[in-house]
Amino acid sequence: MTPLGKDIEVGAKRIGDYTNALPLSAAKEDVELRLVGTRCGRGLCLHLAAMGLRPGALIRVVRTHGPGPLIVAMGNTRMALGRGIAHHLFVVPIEDHRDS
């Protein structure tokens, strides 16, 4: 699991609110997650938002492919995300989120 580095800028404020945020790439399969922040270039961030991947979205990892891409469920949508981008999306498991 990668600890949150100092280089998080975009959405940093929101991620900072969660002590238990972890990168999506480290999330387990079949656990309900809330996306709390993204760290990416402007164009990509907006593109992800247009596809529904924005802070607040409820997602779940359907399948991870070892070092390869993963499949994420968001409502009835299934999305394939490369490993690289999954390191830059930050999530909190829903149960933990309720506690905090």
Partner 1 sequence: MASTIKIALAGNPNSGKTTIFNAITGARQHVANYAGVTVERKEGYFKKNGADVVVVDLPGTYSLTAYSVEEKVARDFLLDERPDVVVNVVDASNLERNLYLTVQLMELGLPVVIALNMTDVAKSRGVEIDIPRLSALLGIPIVATVGTKSQGVESLVETALAVATGSLVSKPAPIRYGREIEEEIAKILDSFDPAAPLLPQYPSRWLAVKLLEEDSDVVEKLKTLPGADAVLRKAAASIAHLRGVTGDTPEIVLADRRYGFISGACQESVASTVEMRHIMSDKIDVLMTHRVLGIPILLVLMYGVFYAAFYAASAPGEWIGSLLGWLGFQISAILGPGAHGTLTLRSLIVDGVIGGVGSVIVFLPNVMVLFLAIAVLEDSGYMARAAFVMDHLMHKMGLHGKSFIPMIIGFGCSVPAIMSTRIIENRLGRLTTMMVIPLMSCGARLPIYALLIPAFFAPQYRAAALWFIYVFGVLLAIAIARLLRGTVLKGESHPLVMELPPYRFPTVKGLLIHTWERSWLYVKKAGTIILAASVLLWFAANWPAPPADRLAAAASPEEAHTVVLANSLVGRVGRAIEPVIAPLGFDWRAGTALIGATAAKEVFVAQMGIVFGVGESADTLEELRGKMRANYSQASGIAMLLFALIASPCVATVAITRKESGSWKWALLQWGGLTAVGYMMALVAYQVASRL
What is the binding site for partner 1 (CB under 8 A)? 10-11, 13, 42-55, 62-63, 65-69, 71, 73-85
Dist. CA 12–CA 38, nearest whole Å: 8
- Where do the DSSP E strands lie in the chain? 22-23, 32-38, 58-64, 70-74, 77-81, 89-93
Minimum CB separation of residue 21 from partner 1 in Å reads 16
Residue 32 beta carbon to partner 1: minimum distance, rounded to whole angstroms: 10
Contact in structure between 81 and 63 (CB atoms under 8 Å): no
Nearer to partner 1, 40 or 96 (CB): 40
Closer by beta carbon to partner 1, 4 or else 10 = 10
Structure tokens at 51: 């596809």
> 28 vs 78, which CB is nearer to partner 1?
78
How many Cα neighbours within 13 Å face the side chain of 83? 6
CB of 8 to partner 1, least distance (A): 13
CB of 93 to partner 1, least distance (A): 16
